Structure 1
Amino acid sequence: MAPTAHSAVIAALRAVGVAPDAYGPTLNTAQSPRDVDVVGEGLAGEIRAVAAPAALVVWDTSDEAVLAHVVARNLDIGVLRAFEVEGLLRVSPDVPAGAPVALLATQWGERRLAGLRTLVANRGGQTVAVAAALTSPALAAVTDVPTAALASSDEVTGVPS
C-alpha cells in the first residue's frame, strides 16, 4: 500500500476504533461510515493483490457484516455469513461447491479462524485468502494461502512497537 493510502487507512481505523465483540475485536462501524469506506477499500485492494475470491466469508456480527459489505462491494462479490447455533457452525447462504472464498475479520483469533476455515472446507469451498483489518498471531500463522492486513494494533492505537 502506498504511504499516503496507508496513512489514510490508519486515520480511518483510528476514527472508527476497535471494540470487543462475541467473535473478537470489531470495528465500530457506526462511528463513521465514510471511514469504514476507506478501510473497506483498503482491504479490498489488499485482497485483490493476493487472490480472486468469488465471495467473502465473515462471522455474522453487525459490525463485521458492515465491513464485509464495503469490501465485497469494492471487489464486486457476495458475502457469506457464518454463525454458531447450539454448537453447530453454519454459513448462509451456503458456500457454492468449489467456490474460492476469502475469510475476513477485523482481527483474527486462532479458534475463530480455524473454525471458519474448517466450515468452509466442509461446505465444499476453497479458502484462497485470509484478510483482516488488523494483524494478529493467528493471521501470521497462516502459511498455506495468501494473507492480507492493513495495520498492526500498535499503528491504530498509536502505541510504539
Structure 2
Amino acid sequence: MNMTEALAALTRGGFTPPPDSHDESPSDGAPLPRYQPSRDPAGAEELGRALARALRDAAADPDAAADTVLVWDDSDDLVLAHVVARELGATVMRALEIEGLVLPLGEHGPPGAVVLLADAFRTRAALRALHALAAREGGRVTAIAALIATPQLDAAAGLPVHTLLPERRPGAPR
C-alpha cells in the first residue's frame, strides 16, 4: 500500500490530516483526529494488512514478527489490532488505564515478542505506559506500529517504528 492509498483509506475512516503536522496539538489547536474503522471496514482491513506486512517484512524471522499485539482498550484501535494480529498469527492484549494504573485486560499467556499498536500515538506517556506493561507482563517490545506517524514516536528508544502515513512537520512540503 503506498502513501496515497493509505491516506485515501484513512480519509474514508474519518481521518483528515491537520494542515501543518500530525502533532498532538496542530497549529489550529485541534486535536489529532481519530481513525474510525467502522466507517470503512474494507479500508480497515487494507490498513491492518499493510501494517502487518511492514512488520513481517522488517522482522528477522518473518514467521515470528510478533506473538502479541498490545493496544489500548479502545474499540477503534481494537479493530486494527484484530486485523494485524490475525495477519501475523499473534494474539491481542488490551491495556486499560484506571487512575494512573495501567493494567492488562482479560486472560493471556506470556506475551513474548510484542508490537505496540495505535492509529496514532498522541502522547509519549501512552507509548511508554504500553512499553512498561509489556515488560511487566514478561514480554519484549520488538516494534511499534501506527497508521499515522507523530512526534511522540521519538520516544521509541531505538525500536523499529512502522507507519503508513509519515509525519509532516510544519513548513514541510505536502
Per the normalisation by structure 1, the TM-score is 0.82
Question: Any stretches of 5+ residues in structure 2 without a counterpart?
Answer: 17-23, 25-31, 60-64
What corresponds to 1:152 in structure 2?
A: 166
What corresponds to 2:152 in structure 1?
A: 138
The amino acid across from 2:4 in the alignment is S
1:103-161 CA-to-partner distances (Å, cap 9, x unmatched) read 0001112110011111111111100001100001121342332110110365xxxx954
The amino acid across from 1:84 in the alignment is E
Q: Secondary structure at the match of 1:138?
A: helix
What corresponds to 2:8 in structure 1?
A: 11
Matches within 5 A, 1:21-40: 26-40=34-48
Q: Secondary structure at the match of 2:157?
A: coil
What corresponds to 1:105 in structure 2?
A: 118
Q: Take 1:15 and 1:41, find their aligned partners in 2: how far apart are those partners? A: 16
- Shift of the 87–142 alpha-carbon distance from structure 1 to 2, 3 Å rule, reads closer
What corresponds to 1:42 in structure 2?
A: 50
Aligned alpha-carbon RMSD (Å): 2.4
Preserved contact between residue 26 and residue 64 of structure 1 (Cα < 8 Å): no
Q: Take 1:137 and 1:5, find their aligned partners in 2: how far apart are those partners? A: 21
1:72 maps to 2:48: no
Match for residue 85 of structure 1 among 84, 91, 98: 98
Preserved contact between residue 113 and residue 139 of structure 2 (Cα < 8 Å): yes
Preserved contact between residue 96 and residue 124 of structure 1 (Cα < 8 Å): no
1:122 maps to 2:136: yes
Q: Take 2:83 and 2:145, find their aligned partners in 1: how far apart are those partners? A: 14
Identity %: 34
- Shift of the 95–146 alpha-carbon distance from structure 1 to 2, 3 Å rule, reads farther
Bigger radius of gyration among the two: 2
Per the normalisation by structure 2, the TM-score is 0.76
Q: Secondary structure at the match of 2:156?
A: coil
